[in-house]
Chains A and B, each alone.
Chain A
Amino acid sequence: MSTAISTNTQTTVEWFYACNVIDVPPNGGVCVKYDDVQIALFRFARRDAWYATQNLCPHRQQMALSRGMTGTHNGEPKVACPFHKKTFSLEDGRCLSDETECSLTTYPVKVENDKVYIGIMQEA
């Protein structure tokens, strides 16, 4: 899983504790509150992978992605918004079903001792 990343613009990742592994239904998602930000956290239990994106669906500005259905398209992990079934890649956040739709912000996730942490980019 992603650890601290640094690039030439000096961004570092600050990890915050989101919840415990057992709080997230296997192959499903939950919404995590980080101050005023809502983050959708997804658990792909079958391949032991975790993803996080913004919870807001850019299509109609609905706080709904965490309640969406997860899946894959040609192996690429995705989530389908419960409102109009637009699908978004969990790897880079781009909309898979509509090229003109905005992309999602994605966040790195790490799991340590059954605790789930989400990474927020900090500009130094």
Chain B
Amino acid sequence: MKIVIIGNGMVSYKFCEKILSKLPAQAAEIVVFGEEPRPAYDRVHLSEFFAGKTADDLLMAPADWYASNHITLHLGDPVQQIDRSNKTVHSYKGITEAYDYLVIATGSSAFVPPIPGVDKKGVFIYRTIEDLELMRDYAPKAKRGVVIGGGLLGLEAAKALLDLGISDTHVIEFAPRLMPRQIDESGSRILEQQLKQLGLQVHTNKNTSEVLGDETITGLQFADESILEADMLVISAGIKPRDELAKLSGLETGHRGGIVVNEHLQTTDPEIYAIGECALYHGMIYGLVAPGYEMAEVVASHIAGEAQQKTFTGFDMSTKLKLIGVDVASFGDPFVSAETSRSIVFEDTMKGVYKRISITNDGKYLLGGILIGDADAYNMLLQTSKNKVVLPPNPEDVLLGSRGGSQEAGPGVLGLPDDAIICSCESVSKGAICGAVEAGNETLDAVKKCTKAGTCCGGCTPMVKDLITGTMKAQGKYIRNVICEHFAYSRQELYDLIRIKDVRSFDEALDHYGHGDGCEVCKPVVASIMASLWNDMILDKGNDVVQDSNDRFLANIQKGGTYSVVPRIPGGEITPAKLLVIAQVALKYNLYTKITGGQRIDLFGAHLSDLPDIWEELIEAGFESGHAYGKALRTVKSCVGSTWCRFGLHDSVSFAIQIEERYRGLRAPHKIKSAVSGCIRECAEAQSKDFGIIATEKGWNLYVGGNGGSKPQHAILLAADLDSETCIRYIDRFLMFYIKTADPLTRTATWLNKLDGGITYLRNVVINDSLGIAEELDKEMQALVDKYKCEWKEVVESPELRKRFNHFVNAPGAKDPTVKFDNMREQKKAAEWK
């Protein structure tokens, strides 16, 4: 048997994979023609090309995969003709191949509307790696970017323009709302707001009539006479199925494009199949990868003559927008009419969240819905609607989560039937995943390898994880995050043991609770627990060598092996006299200076042996350690507040200083940042901090669990309108509870996300003392506060400790001769490493 495949895109590749697995080895001769210069790649994650992925990273499989499976692959060679009577195809490069079965998987191309001027320089489409390469090369010249098309792809392209550094980017949509096929008016409004915050301007109801400019684009002219200046345009107005070859060979195609197929994906010629984005089934083009994969499965099964013939009966077009930075998802039928269903809507314009679900009139089943701003529940809801899972008595719980704190919101992923599809890209059922776990695949990687679930878009990974834990729990296996091979305890367990047994050194901990010698994982964990519990000098009792390297030398190691020095500047307030001292020290020790994001000054490039001298001078002038090297409180940033600002409600600087001085030196599972803003304008960005405080008319609002960094997250309101004393008491409890219960190296945001019961639970612990530990938490924190000492002061005053700050043990004072600096803008910088 000989199978020829036209096109080598995602679906073509998947078909090869499927047919290979269904036929005995080498039972069929397989030939693939691809028009693009490289083998099939992951178009779904195309945008990651701008995030640093290379074309090779994106490949579905390297060229030698085809060779080793005896597939002949002709790349850069499109098929130009199908001779149906002789059953042959002819390619551009002159190859003729005969076939028994022909599979057309030519995908689609970007639809470019016939607007005058679309051929100008600076106009792009967004479909192939080559398109992206062209955009990347052009973008540095562009100041304002425009995307025509406010659909799924258009928004993704707009985000790509932002990522390419074009901060002024606009989206033009012809319809009155964004993503018209997926979401409704209200959803679109919220989405627009959210996009604005990302820097995307949205214009709906705009009909582009002309691309302006001579050779190169200078702007867009709209039907309503308005003009938008622009120097780069991406057109993403939909897709056009590549049916030209089919048309040419007399196969039936649709009016608006697409190769007509039946439920076996056969075209009007039963020996020719069409799959993927070029196929038109029941008048519909399926522009997503999962249905394409399903089609590949059906055809492979048909050609292989499997006993259980599958047919294609349409596909769920639920989608979740990735990458954009705003969650958007729709599932099931999002536009059900009011007669046959009722809907539940949740809208929070402040936070930019809009959720709507449609349920049957009897409240039993979920029909579909829209999620904007927060789509965490997407997979769960999708499965609930697809599998007709009966809803809980209060259907709104599936949308809002149960609001008692203790009760579960619906049965969760474990309540789904066994045949529920968890990974829609690879069609892996719940039963298959649980089966794999039962067979001993107890990690995500193992399950991925064994079932392929989660290997494509990755959207189902959280559910797969839940299934692994759930199945293991059901088998009576207790799942615990033990620290490492030397300690068979979780951090929380070890914390309690160390506290109860009053353990003060790592060796003692190892003697009592561990075995072996310890390692770079458990040593800093134990060191941090002891620091959080006792607040002893961290370099005493032999504990210096178990501190993370930065803690061991009380400074941050930088490129080249020198250190940076960060004195504490509480609240970011500093006197001119102290500024002068920093300047003098920097000049004397030849340090590079930079203002940090936390409102203080970082001095880089200090030799190890200079550190004690530098600190001696700083401490002399009244500075203290800033703990920039520790998993500890870093800074409490502040805006200028009511002392100067005309909007200020309270004195944010004084409060920030008070708080920073209270928690300075506090060691925790991870670093802690904070900020205080003097009013709702939030100049100190308090909501991006582990705990943040914003002044209100009546007092302070306290937010917790925020995060900047690579996974930004807004802090959540813990309590409102507090007086200063209560605010501090709540912070005491929040921090102490976090310190006691978090896993190692877990920021408050992740900790709170994982906390059973979430913010409601935390509020109960902190405010209502639901665990009865509030008094203990208060006392423990006060003890730590009372015990604070500046670590650097202790080092400076101890000749023994100072000795540890030498580079050579046998040549004290001698500097590392390999340290090299370069010059840049009148300061030094570390020499580039290899």
* Residues of A participating in the B interface, judged by any CB pair closer than 8 Å: 18-19, 23-28, 30-33, 36, 38, 41, 44, 46-47, 60-64, 67-75, 77-78, 80, 82-83, 85, 87
A71 CB contact (under 8 Å) in B517, B552, B560: B517
Contacts of B546 in A (CB 8 A): 27, 69
Contacts of B804 in A (CB 8 A): 25
Beta-carbon contact of A71 and B523 below 8 Å: yes
Interface size class of B (residues with CB under 8 A): 35 or more
* Residues of B participating in the A interface, judged by any CB pair closer than 8 Å: 485-486, 507, 510, 516-520, 522-524, 542, 544-546, 548-550, 552-553, 557, 560-561, 804, 807-811, 814, 816-819, 833-834
CA distance A83 to B522 in the complex (A): 18
Contacts A/B (CB < 8 Å), 19 sampled: A23-B809, A24-B809, A25-B542, A27-B542, A31-B807, A31-B809, A38-B818, A41-B809, A44-B517, A63-B561, A63-B818, A64-B557, A67-B549, A67-B553, A68-B549, A69-B520, A71-B520, A72-B516, A80-B519
* Closest A residue, CB atoms, query B819: A63
Beta-carbon contact of B517 and A33 below 8 Å: no
CA distance A10 to B586 in the complex (A): 53
Beta-carbon contact of A32 and B557 below 8 Å: no
B517 CB contact (under 8 Å) in A60, A72, A80: A72
Contacts of A19 in B (CB 8 A): 809-810
Knowing A25-B804, A83-B557, the reply to whether A33 touches B520 (Cβ < 8 A) is no
Contacts of B542 in A (CB 8 A): 25-27
Q: Which of A19, A25, A36, A41 has the most CB of B within 10 A?
A: A25
Knowing A25-B804, A63-B818, A82-B557, the reply to whether A87 touches B544 (Cβ < 8 A) is no
A46 CB contact (under 8 Å) in B507, B522, B550: B507
Beta-carbon contact of B544 and A28 below 8 Å: yes
Contacts of B516 in A (CB 8 A): 72, 75
> 12 additional contacts, CB 8 Å, given A32-B809, A61-B833?
A25-B542, A27-B542, A28-B544, A63-B561, A64-B557, A68-B549, A69-B519, A69-B524, A69-B549, A71-B517, A83-B557, A87-B520
CA distance A75 to B518 in the complex (A): 10
* Closest A residue, CB atoms, query B834: A61
CA distance A25 to B540 in the complex (A): 11
Contacts of A41 in B (CB 8 A): 809
CA distance A23 to B544 in the complex (A): 14
Contacts of B553 in A (CB 8 A): 67
With both chains docked as a complex, state the minimum distance between the C-beta of B545 and any C-beta of chain A, in angstroms.
3
CA distance A62 to B830 in the complex (A): 12
Beta-carbon contact of B834 and A46 below 8 Å: no
Beta-carbon contact of A71 and B808 below 8 Å: no
Beta-carbon contact of B517 and A62 below 8 Å: no
Contacts of A73 in B (CB 8 A): 485, 519
A64 CB contact (under 8 Å) in B507, B544, B561: B561
Contacts of A18 in B (CB 8 A): 809-810
Contacts of B819 in A (CB 8 A): 63
CA distance A56 to B542 in the complex (A): 25
Contacts of A31 in B (CB 8 A): 807-809, 816
A69 CB contact (under 8 Å) in B485, B545, B557, B818: B545
CA distance A28 to B561 in the complex (A): 18
Contacts of A25 in B (CB 8 A): 542, 544-545, 804
CA distance A13 to B433 in the complex (A): 59
CA distance A8 to B99 in the complex (A): 68
* Closest A residue, CB atoms, query B521: A71
* Closest A residue, CB atoms, query B517: A72
With both chains docked as a complex, state the minimum distance between the C-beta of A15 and any C-beta of chain B, in angstroms.
14
CA distance A50 to B553 in the complex (A): 22
A33 CB contact (under 8 Å) in B507, B545, B811: B811
With both chains docked as a complex, state the minimum distance between the C-beta of B554 and any C-beta of chain A, in angstroms.
13
Beta-carbon contact of B520 and A80 below 8 Å: yes
* Closest A residue, CB atoms, query B809: A30
* Closest A residue, CB atoms, query B545: A28
Beta-carbon contact of A67 and B518 below 8 Å: no
Knowing A82-B557, A83-B557, the reply to whether A71 touches B810 (Cβ < 8 A) is no
Ranked 8 nearest A-B pairs via Cβ: A71-B519, A82-B549, A28-B545, A80-B520, A30-B809, A72-B517, A69-B520, A33-B808
Beta-carbon contact of A26 and B545 below 8 Å: yes
* Closest B residue, CB atoms, query A75: B516
* Closest A residue, CB atoms, query B511: A46
With both chains docked as a complex, state the minimum distance between the C-beta of B550 and any C-beta of chain A, in angstroms.
8
Beta-carbon contact of B833 and A71 below 8 Å: no
Contacts of A36 in B (CB 8 A): 817
Knowing A24-B809, A25-B542, A71-B517, the reply to whether A62 touches B485 (Cβ < 8 A) is no
Contacts of A47 in B (CB 8 A): 517
CA distance A60 to B516 in the complex (A): 30
CA distance A41 to B507 in the complex (A): 20
Knowing A26-B542, A27-B542, the reply to whether A72 touches B519 (Cβ < 8 A) is yes
* Closest A residue, CB atoms, query B547: A69
Contacts of A69 in B (CB 8 A): 519-520, 523-524, 545-546, 548-549
CA distance A8 to B561 in the complex (A): 40
Contacts of B518 in A (CB 8 A): 71-72
Contacts of A67 in B (CB 8 A): 549, 552-553, 557
CA distance A24 to B273 in the complex (A): 75
Contacts of B523 in A (CB 8 A): 69, 71
Contacts of A33 in B (CB 8 A): 808, 810-811, 814
* Closest B residue, CB atoms, query A61: B834
* Closest B residue, CB atoms, query A60: B833
CA distance A60 to B831 in the complex (A): 12
Contacts of B817 in A (CB 8 A): 36
With both chains docked as a complex, state the minimum distance between the C-beta of B591 and any C-beta of chain A, in angstroms.
19
Contacts of A87 in B (CB 8 A): 520
CA distance A36 to B808 in the complex (A): 12
Contacts of B549 in A (CB 8 A): 67-69, 82
Contacts of A27 in B (CB 8 A): 507, 517, 542, 545-546
CA distance A85 to B557 in the complex (A): 13
With both chains docked as a complex, state the minimum distance between the C-beta of A48 and any C-beta of chain B, in angstroms.
12
CA distance A19 to B804 in the complex (A): 14
* Closest B residue, CB atoms, query A64: B561
Knowing A25-B542, A26-B545, the reply to whether A32 touches B520 (Cβ < 8 A) is no
Knowing A28-B545, A82-B557, A83-B557, the reply to whether A63 touches B517 (Cβ < 8 A) is no
CA distance A83 to B516 in the complex (A): 24
CA distance A78 to B516 in the complex (A): 12
Contacts of A32 in B (CB 8 A): 808-810
Contacts of A26 in B (CB 8 A): 542, 545
* Closest A residue, CB atoms, query B811: A33
With both chains docked as a complex, state the minimum distance between the C-beta of A44 and any C-beta of chain B, in angstroms.
7
Knowing A46-B507, A61-B833, A62-B833, the reply to whether A70 touches B545 (Cβ < 8 A) is yes
* Closest A residue, CB atoms, query B523: A69
Beta-carbon contact of A74 and B485 below 8 Å: yes
